[in-house]
Structure formats: C-alpha cells, structure tokens
Amino acid sequence: MEKYVYIALFAPLLSSLFVALFATRPKILFMGILASLLIGASMISSFILLFYVNAHGALHVKMMDWISAGNLEIPFGFVVDQVSVIMMVTVTFVSTIIHVYSIGYMDHDKSFNRFFSYLSAFVFSMLILVMSDNFVGLFIGWEGVGLCSWLLIGFWYHKPSAAWAANEAFIMNRIADLGMLMGLFLIYWQIGSFQYDIVFASIKFLDISIVTTIGIFLFIGAMGKSAQFPLHTWLADAMEGPTPVSALIHAATMVTAGVYLVIRCGDIYSLIPHIGFAIASLGAFVAVFAASMALVNNDLKRIIAYSTLSQLGYMFVAAGLGAYWIALFHLMTHAFFKSLLFLGAGNVMHAMHDELNIKKMGGLYGSMKATAILMSVASVALAGIYPFAGFFSKDMILEVAFNEGAYFLWFALFIGAGMTAFYSFRLVMLVFFGEKEHTKYGIHPHEAQPFVIYALMPLGLLAVIAGFFEHAFRGFVTKLLTNYDIQIAHGTEVLLIAATLGIAISGISFAIYMYSRGGFSKTLENRFCYKLLINQYFIPKLYELYIMKPFGAISNFLWQKIDVKIIDFSVDMVAKILYTSGEKSRKMQSGNLSDMLRWMVVGIVILLAVAIFYRPIV
C-alpha cells in the first residue's frame, strides 16, 4: 500500500515540475492532458487507500528522517487515516474534474502551460497538508497552498486588480499564520514533539490555560485560511483569478484547510469547550454575515464566493460544538456542489465574453440548457432541499446547535438557510431566465464544449446523491473522530427539519416570484441597508482608512526620515570618506622618485617616534 501513498502524493508534484519545463512556451495541449492524467492517478490511488483504510485501519508511512536537531526529531512521514483519506479523495476527485475542465477553459490563454503547473502544485501542497503525520509537515503544506493561491489569484498579473488581490490574500494569510506559528512553538515548548500521536496523547496533561492558548493560536491560523471574520475580505477579491482557480480554492483546497485543522485537532478542542463555543459563535455570525452580502451583490463569482464564506461558518459551528464528523461531512458535500457552481459560472463567463454582472445576463437558459440545469442542481443542493446533498449535512449542523442548547446559534443558522436559498435562486433567475438583457450589449451566448459539460456531470450526480452516504460516512470516520450523536426527540427533530426545509423553500419561492416579475424596485438601491450590504458593511473601507493608510503613512515616514536621511546618509558618508581618502592618497603613488623618497623619510620618522615614545605596560 505504501506505493499508493507515494503515487497519491507525488503524482501532482511530478505533473507540476514536468509542465513547468514548458511554462514559457506557447500552448501545448498535451501538457493539460498529462496534468489531468497524473491528477487522475492520484485520485485512483486515493480511492484505493480509502478502501484499504476501511478494511485494515490507518496506514503510517515514514519516508525518511527529515529534521534532527538536539531533541527535535521530525520524520518525513504521512498518515492515511479516516480523516486524511476522506480529504485526499475529496481533493483529488474535485481537482481531476477541474483539471479536465481547465483544458477547455484556458484553451486560448497564452500561459496555458504555466497555469497547469501552478494548478498541480496547488493540489500537491494540499495533499502534503492533509497527509502529514506532524504539525511541521502540515505547516509546509499550509504555506504551500498560500504560495500557490498567490500565484493563481494573480495569474493574470498584468491586471492591477489581480496583482492587488493576490497580495491581499497572501499578506492577510501571513498575518494569521503568525498566530499558528505561535501555537506550534507552544506545542513544542510544552510537549517536545510535533507528531500528532504524541501531541494528542500528551495534551490532556497540560495546564488548561496552556491548552486554551494553543487552541486560540491554532484557530487564528484557521481564521486566515478559511477567511473567517475579520480576516475575510481576501476571499471575495480572490475572484480575480481564473474561474477554475476559484473552484479549487473554494471547494477542495485553501479555505477547507482551516476546517481540517480544527477537525484534526479535535483532541485539543474537546478539552477547551469554551473556545469551541467561541469558534461556533463566530461561525454562526459569519454564516449570516456572508449570506447577507450575497443577497444584493451583482457579481456572479462574488455571490458564489460569499456563499462559500457562509458555508464555512456552518462547518465551524459543527466543529466548534464537537460534531467533527458532521463538519467533515458538510465539507465533503459542499465541495461537490460548490465546485459545480463555480465551473458552471465559468461557462457563463465564456458565453458572456467575461461579463460578470448578472443584471446584464438573463434568458441564457435557451442557449445554455446543460449549464443551467447543472447550476440549478448545485443551487438546490446549496439551499439544502431534500434529497440533495446539502440537505443532509446542513440540516445536521442546525440540529447540533439545537441539541447543544445553543438556540441563538440555531436561529442564526436558520435565518442563514433562508438567505442562502434566496440568493442562490436570485442568481439562477437573473442569469438563466427573465429578459435577455445581454442582447443590449450585442452578446450571442453559446454552450460550453461537450467534454466540459461531461466533465461536470459527476459533480452534478454527487450534488444529488452524496447525502445518502451519511451512515456509511459516519461509520467510517467515527472510528477516529468522536461519534457525536444528536439526542433530540423524534417529534422535535421532524419539526426542526420541516422548519429548515420550509424557510429554504420559502427563500427559493420568493426569489422565483420576485425575479419573474422583474425584481425589486430600483429605489431599493438608495436605501441605507442596501448600501451597507453592497459595500460589504464598509469593512474594506475601514481597513483602508484605519489600517492601510496609517501603515502607509508610517512606512513613508520611516523611508524618508529614517531610511534615507539617517541609514542611507550614514552608509553614503562612509563611502564618501573612503572615496575621498583614496583620492587624496592616490598622490602618494605618483611614480616620481623624489616624492617616493620623501614619503619614505616621513614613514621612518613616524616609526622612530613610535619606538621612542611607546612604552608597553608590564
């Protein structure tokens, strides 16, 4: 089985390095095909490992000794257990489809080869993150996905907006990663190891205040990767990258890393339930906060991005309340319908000549039936309608909140479910139905290439049926994770399900009703509430006024007053003195015999003076 671990892990790396050799050359279609095949090999190996772990339990592989310094011993090792193998299968399955899709999507891009090199590197970094058996390996993968996200968000670096968005994502994650590093340093200081098995076995013997501090620091890192408030602004701006990148970031890599970290560290957070509740509270806030911004946004990709942010909030509620297997289940089901939404949005963008404003679309169903059906299926799953995948995982998260007596959190998630249903079908109605607004701009939309549609069909199928694997999934992952059981009376449970379904169906019906009649009045755009939401609660503006501009002013002052006038002046003065003294001393080397004799006499006089007047201290 060890060979399948190496194939699953290193096939994406091989893909990235080989394609990188041709990165600067014009498009070579074979590079996209080869990259897709290698990611497919990683996927097949991951499925083989899934069946092995199900039959025989976790697989530990030590490739080699890695870091050995004093008492610090870190092997280059991997663990394929019930949690990591689910992540491996999810990451590689979604990534394979995205690679195949990208062959068509990036067909006319001059940097076709470079794109596939970066994309495969992204998958490799995520696999390092989830497969490592220690925190240092996890952190290497953690930084790897950060680097790859910077490369891919800023892929079209000639666009100032793309370069800015890439830098924003990179810098904001570096801020959060400082917290994670502090947590890792504290773990080693207190336990003396980074190995998961040693850390999780020893953590319960530490003082609760130390465990609390470790939990807080690790979650700060998770906040950055999973874009939780207040480190959330980079996620919507990351839509500047190519659409397959958005699908990969939101469905299988990057933002799911924070949720994975909390799930993996369940043994730590189970000891500090007060911190877990704080995580859940923040998640519930983000679920509503992000959904509210999606209600009014008109950017196709940003609406889907805000839905990701909202769904991450749901995952953190489950994880924070100790229902780790439910959080992982929602992570998996969400990956299927969210990647389908983004890739469908990519089809729409191509058909609309890269137009993103949904109010300039309308009536695309007639030209793009397959894409419309697939995106509608994904939207129903996102809204949480039975029997689609999102219903099973999302509904259980609401039940967890109710089961724990966190009724305020349940109510927030309940309202978020209604908002999700509304904005999902607001998007569907404005894009695919209603008046053909695109005709005003001379756009003639067309369906994507057949192989692109075929590539999306497995995601559409899983968006429908994945929820039915709930019991098998639970039985598998709870061999490692806590078997959280919801203790709610059957009658109450039925009422909760009915209420959640009711508000979701109401949200869908209201969206269909309003946008089949032309939508809301334009006077709504003058309301303060609308302006607050469309401007993201003015948080980016506040960051600009109170963080970016003061930091820029301080940096400018330090540059002009300290760097230029003191540091540069001092360095330049030393150079000037040496240069001037050299110029003056050059006269000594005139080559004139008389001058040379005179300098010899001067030297003799100086040596004699030193010999006469110098008395060593005995």
Query: Where does the pLDDT of residue 278 fall: very low under 50, low under 70, confident under 90, or very high at 90 and above?
Result: very high
- Position of tokens 């877990």? 276
Mean pLDDT of 402-415: 94
Mean pLDDT of 357-364: 88
- Position of tokens 């310094």? 69
CB atoms within 10 A of CB 598: 12
Query: Where does the pLDDT of residue 588 fall: very low under 50, low under 70, confident under 90, or very high at 90 and above?
Result: confident
> Percent of the chain having pLDDT more than 70?
99
**Token pair recorded at residue 147:** 């680097």
Instruction: Say how far apart CA 511 and CA 295 lie, in whole Å.
Output: 10
- Give the chain's largest Cα–Cα span: 116
CB atoms within 10 A of CB 124: 25
Q: Given this model, what pLDDT does residue 401 score?
A: 95
Mean pLDDT of 190-215: 93
Mean pLDDT of 555-576: 90
- Most confident residue range from 71-75, 322-326, 442-446: 322-326
Residue 70 reports pLDDT greater than 80: no
- Most confident residue range from 244-253, 311-320, 581-590: 311-320
Which one-letter DSSP state was computed for residue 238? G
Q: Which residue has the higher pLDDT, 591 or 320?
A: 320
CB within 8 Å of 133: residues ≥ 6 apart: 60, 75, 77, 78, 79, 195, 196, 197
Residue 73 reports pLDDT greater than 90: no
- Position of tokens 């004093």? 70
Specify the amino acid at residue 314. Answer: Y
Q: Given this model, what pLDDT does residue 480 score?
A: 92
Q: Given this model, what pLDDT does residue 615 score?
A: 62
Mean pLDDT of 311-338: 95
User: In terms of C-beta density within 10 A (0-12 exposed, 13-18 middle, 19 or more buried), how is residue 456 classed?
Assistant: buried
In Å, what is the CA distance from 35 to each residue of 30, 127, 343, 354?
8, 16, 18, 25
Query: Where does the pLDDT of residue 616 fall: very low under 50, low under 70, confident under 90, or very high at 90 and above?
Result: low
Which one-letter DSSP state was computed for residue 487? -
Residue 618 reports pLDDT greater than 70: no
Residues 436-485: pLDDT tens digits?
887 877 788 888 888 999 999 999 999 999 999 999 999 999 999 989 88
Q: Given this model, what pLDDT does residue 617 score?
A: 54
Give the lowest-confidence range in 206-220, 392-406, 487-501, 591-605: 591-605
Residue 207 reports pLDDT greater than 60: yes
Residues 4-34: pLDDT tens digits?
999 999 999 999 999 999 988 888 999 999 9
Q: Given this model, what pLDDT does residue 33 score?
A: 95
Helix intervals (H) in 226-368: 233-237, 243-251, 255-264, 266-269, 273-294, 300-320, 324-351
